[in-house]
């Protein structure tokens, strides 16, 4: 390992040496255009043209000589140094925006950032791809001297990426590095070493990140989108120069696209698992159209650990996997067995989403921020101070049955066994018409425990107590009734971070104290029907083992055709 770092350092030092002949033999412009495929944000671009950049939830003034301001947060600094914001200036499209982009790039060429982050290969790759992808916008009409400086810097940056291969950054940032390397290879085809280096490493990076069923190893719909976007850009570059796309990339595009489609709700946005945000439906459509021509939706996702159940217009998405393994677990959430439920374009039950600011990010990783049971206020997975997953469930049981359009899902995990001596079982039933969702939450262990079922509601959903002890949910033109037995039901405040800014919402909480939980076959409540018996061949929970205690909460959500207050 030490020898590898020494060799990498030597390659980086050589890559940063001045060009022979002061770059006189460089092409005057990119030989092949590298076109940025994605739309920018005109509002953000107009703000940047006035000297202020908003990125990752932070806003700071930016301008020449301000690349290394000490007050910049890491997430903001990464966005600033990647130059992805060039597409926002391009979206504005005015001469003022063009000159602003040119001035910022020119200042970088003379006085680049000295931050170590600027030398991360994923950041370099994004920066080079952004320069080349927007070359026609900010550089084509510039002076010869500016264009010569830019092309010389692009060559040096390409050499830096090549020296840093294979990428040390886990996750989709490694794909961004390889995309930048490919962009330089396309823009400067006479330097054949860039394409050779790209082809040498792309297969291993893709195969280490993309699981056999098409899921990205981080198990996050948003990371799935980001990784697919990087691969789609590689495909577009290869098509522009009529080169054969590496087989690993072509296969990944075909496998990842159905998974991304599967993780969209009826409104077109992403489900909020493992730090995801809804994202723009138009952007997701655009990425999918660039990635593949098929419109297949994945049904089975065993490697990624998700189950998708659709009945008419209702959609139930369930996380049935273990948090991502190291070193891909920095954004993993403790949401094992959590679900999201929507009907048509209306989201009803959701997870809280992904935090942008550090405090929110840490809070929203906890189990309590997901539509699932929490035991004794703990999470089913624990996180270390470095953000990695320190403890995770060792086993997740999954049994999915379908009969005549209805779905049964029997689940379990042992994430609370070490901390509380209990195993968690969840049983879900979705009716064939999609108008009834039922659940059973069961803890089985050596003692009775305090636990809570939390079902977070989308901000567009209202909740009021009815006279019969049920809760009425209003969601646009839809009305649903929630009932539960086995614990105390309440409506509490929650937070929703599906966008870039957290907003207030509500959650349904069923709180269970020791001796108040329902033993198998007993209990009291609002008359909740048990989940329909599973089809033949499904495994029931069975009798309570000797020496064990079992606590059960049953709940149901039914769509109301006629809204009644009783």
Q: What angle do CA 52, 56, 57 make, to 5 degrees?
A: 75
pLDDT at 6 over 70: no
Residue 525: pLDDT above 50? Answer: no
Mean of all residue pLDDT scores within the chain: 91
- Taking each helix axis as running N to C, give the angle between helix 95-110 and helix 42-49, from 0 to 180 degrees, rounded to the nearest 10: 60
pLDDT confidence bin for 511, thresholds 50/70/90: very high
DSSP 8-state symbol, 190? T
pLDDT reading at 531 higher than 60: no
**Domain locations along the chain:** 32-173, 209-303, 305-515+549-560
pLDDT band of 501, cuts 50, 70, 90 = confident
Which CATH code fits 305-515+549-560?
A: 2.70.98.70
At 524, is the pLDDT very low, low, confident or very high (cuts 50, 70, 90)?
Answer: very low
Tell me if 163 sits within 8 A of 9, measured CB to CB. Answer: no
pLDDT the model gives residue 546: 79
Return left, alpha or beta for 89; rule: phi > 0 is left, psi -120 to 50 is alpha, else beta.
Answer: alpha
Per-residue pLDDT reduced to its tens digit, 452-469: 999 999 999 999 999 999
Binned at pLDDT 50, 70 and 90, residue 26 comes out as confident
Residues forming a β-bridge with 452:
374, 511
Q: What is the pLDDT of residues 61-119, one digit of tens each?
A: 999 999 999 999 999 999 999 999 999 999 999 999 999 999 999 999 999 999 999 99
What DSSP letter does each residue of 101-133 carry, written as one string? HHHHHHHHHHS----GGGGSHHHHHHHHHHHHH
Backbone φ, ψ for residue 308 (5° rounding): -115, 120
- CA pair distance 346, 267, nearest whole angstrom: 7
Better-predicted residue by pLDDT, 24 or 197: 197
Output 520 or 511, whichever has higher pLDDT. 511
CB hemisphere CA count around 216 (13 angstroms)? 32
The Cα–Cα gap between 189 and 307 comes to 45
Token pair 């970088």: residue = 108
Percent of the chain with pLDDT over 70: 90
Beta bridge partners of 453: 373, 510
């Amino acid at each position: 390992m030490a020898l590898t770092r020494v060799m990498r350092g030597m390659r980086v030092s050589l890559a940063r040496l001045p060009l022979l002949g002061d770059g006189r033999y460089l092409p005057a412009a990119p030989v092949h255009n590298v076109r940025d495929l994605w739309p920018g944000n005109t509002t953000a671009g107009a703000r940047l043209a006035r000297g202020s950049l908003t990125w990752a939830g932070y806003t700071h003034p930016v301008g020449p000589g301000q690349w290394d301001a000490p007050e910049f947060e890491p997430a903001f600094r990464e966005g600033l140094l990647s130059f992805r914001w060039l597409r926002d200036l391009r979206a504005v499209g005015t001469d003022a925006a063009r000159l602003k982009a040119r001035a910022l790039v020119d200042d970088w060429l003379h006085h680049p950032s000295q931050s170590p982050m600027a030398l991360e290969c994923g950041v370099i790759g994004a920066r080079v791809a952004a320069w080349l992808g927007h070359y026609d916008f900010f550089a084509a009409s510039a002076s010869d001297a500016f264009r010569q400086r830019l092309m010389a810097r692009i060559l040096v940056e390409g050499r830096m990426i090549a020296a840093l291969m294979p990428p040390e950054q886990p996750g989709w940032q490694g794909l961004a590095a390889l995309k930048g390397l490919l962009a330089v290879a396309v823009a400067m085809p006479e330097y054949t070493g860039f394409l050779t280096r790209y082809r040498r490493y792309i297969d291993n990076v893709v195969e280490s990140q993309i699981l056999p069923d098409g899921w990205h190893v981080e198990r996050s719909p948003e990371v799935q989108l980001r990784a697919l976007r990087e691969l789609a850009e590689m495909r577009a570059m290869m098509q522009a120069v009529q080169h054969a796309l590496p087989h690993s990339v072509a296969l990944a595009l075909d496998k990842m696209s159905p998974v991304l489609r599967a993780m969209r709700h009826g409104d077109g946005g992403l489900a909020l698992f493992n730090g995801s945000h809804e994202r723009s439906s138009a952007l997701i459509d655009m990425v999918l159209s660039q990635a593949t021509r098929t419109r297949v939706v994945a049904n089975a996702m065993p490697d990624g650990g998700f189950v998708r159940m659709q009945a008419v217009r209702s959609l139930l998405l369930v996380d049935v996997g273990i948090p991502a393994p190291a070193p891909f677990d920095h954004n993993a959430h403790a949401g094992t067995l959590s679900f999201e439920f929507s009907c048509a374009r209306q989201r009803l039950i959701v997870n809280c989403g992904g935090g942008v600011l550090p405090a929110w990010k840490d809070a929203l990783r906890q189990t309590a921020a997901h539509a699932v049971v929490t035991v004794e206020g703990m999470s089913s997975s624990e996180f270390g101070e470095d953000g990695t997953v320190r403890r995770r469930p060792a086993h997740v049981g999954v049994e999915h049955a379908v009969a005549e359009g209805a779905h049964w899902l029997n689940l379990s995990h042992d994430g609370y066994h070490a901390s509380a001596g209990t195993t968690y079982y969840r049983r879900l039933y979705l009716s064939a018409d999609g108008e009834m969702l039922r659940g059973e939450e069961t803890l089985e262990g050596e003692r009775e425990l305090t636990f809570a079922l939390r079902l977070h509601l989308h901000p567009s959903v209202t909740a009021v107590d009815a006279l019969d002890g049920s809760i009425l949910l209003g969601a646009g033109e839809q009305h649903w009734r929630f009932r539960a037995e086995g614990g105390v039901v309440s409506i509490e405040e929650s937070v929703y971070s599906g966008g870039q800014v957290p907003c207030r919402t509500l959650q349904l909480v069923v709180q269970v104290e020791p001796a108040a939980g329902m033993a198998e076959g007993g209990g009291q409540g609002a008359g909740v029907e048990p989940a329909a018996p599973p089809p033949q061949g499904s495994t029931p929970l069975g009798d309570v083992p000797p020496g064990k205690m079992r606590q059960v909460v049953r709940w149901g959500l039914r769509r109301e055709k006629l809204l009644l207050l009783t």
